[in-house]
Amino acid sequence: MKKSDRVDFLLVEDNPNDVELILRALDTHNLAGKVFVVQDGAKALDFLFAKGEYHDRETRQVPKLILLDLKLPKVDGLEVLRQIKADERTKIIPVVILTSSQEEKDMVESYRLGANSYIFKPIDYDQFVMTISEMALYWLALNKLPT
């Protein structure tokens, strides 16, 4: 990706099947083109804070929205969330937790750390597509974000 490219979504998801399904769901509203996918928590942090393989990224170009899975390799979702919300550069980016976990403690901890939404991935494909696309429309169209 080029330095100047603005990313709409940063999708942090390790399951390639889920990635594909999410991209397809976003595609139903032609939103899939502006998604950047990373497979683990460490890469998500590298991307956001322009470290490691993303060291030459322009950090002022923050994604409009972060879709974050909780169960992630290397650095888990809650830790990624904590670091995002602890840093001035990234704390204003809305973070939507997109997870299979219905655990009350995960939900509470996510909100406590400043998550903006907590969405449970439906199993049923129709519901899945509906959930993802409604979520995307809400955050990118209905909801107003600073530019």
Partner 1 sequence: MIKPIFIDSYYTLLLAYVSHPDEKYLATAVDLGQQLVKDNVQPEDIAEIHETAIKRLGQEYPDATVGETAQLVSAPLMEMLMAYGLAFRAQTESNKKLMTDLQSHRDHLEELVDERTKDIESFSYSVSHDLRAPVRAISGFSRILNEEYGHLLDQEGKRLLDVIIDNTQYMGQLIDDLLTLSHLGRKEIDIVEIHITELVKNVVAELTNEVPEREIRWKMNEIANSRGDVTMIRIVWINLLSNAVKYTRSMKKAMIEAGSRDGDNEVVYYVKDNGIGFDMEYSHKLFEVFQRLHSSKEYSGTGVGLAIVNRIIQRHGGRVWAEGKVNQGATFYFTLPKKEDER
- Which span (4-12, 74-82, 87-95, 115-123) binds partner 1, by CB under 8 A? 115-123
Among the residue ranges 43-51, 54-62, 77-85, 101-109, the one whose residues contact partner 1 (CB under 8 A) = 101-109
Q: Which stretch binds partner 1 (CB under 8 A): 3-11, 29-37, 123-131, 136-144?
A: 123-131
- Residue 91 CB, nearest approach to partner 1 (Å): 30
- 134 near partner 1, judged by CB under 8 A: no
Query: In sequence order, what DSSP letters do the residues of the chain get, joined into one string?
Result: --TTPPPSEEEE---HHHHHHHHHHHHTTT-GGGEEEESSHHHHHHHHTT-GGGTTS-TTS--SEEEE-SS-SSS-HHHHHHHHHHSTTTTTS-EEEEES---HHHHHHHHHTT-SEEEEPPSSHHHHHHHHHHHHHIIIIIS----
57 binds partner 1 (CB under 8 A): no
Is residue 24 close enough to count as binding partner 1 by CB under 8 A?
A: yes
The residues, any chain, with a CB within 8 Å of residue 125's CB and separated by 6 or more, are 21
Q: Is 133 in the site for partner 1 (CB under 8 A)?
A: no
Chain centre to alpha carbon of residue 73: 15
User: Is residue 94 near partner 1 by the rule CB under 8 A?
Assistant: no
The only residue of 53, 86, 125, 143 in contact with partner 1, by rule CB under 8 A: 125
Residues that bind partner 1 (CB under 8 A): 15, 17-18, 21, 24, 100-104, 121-126, 128
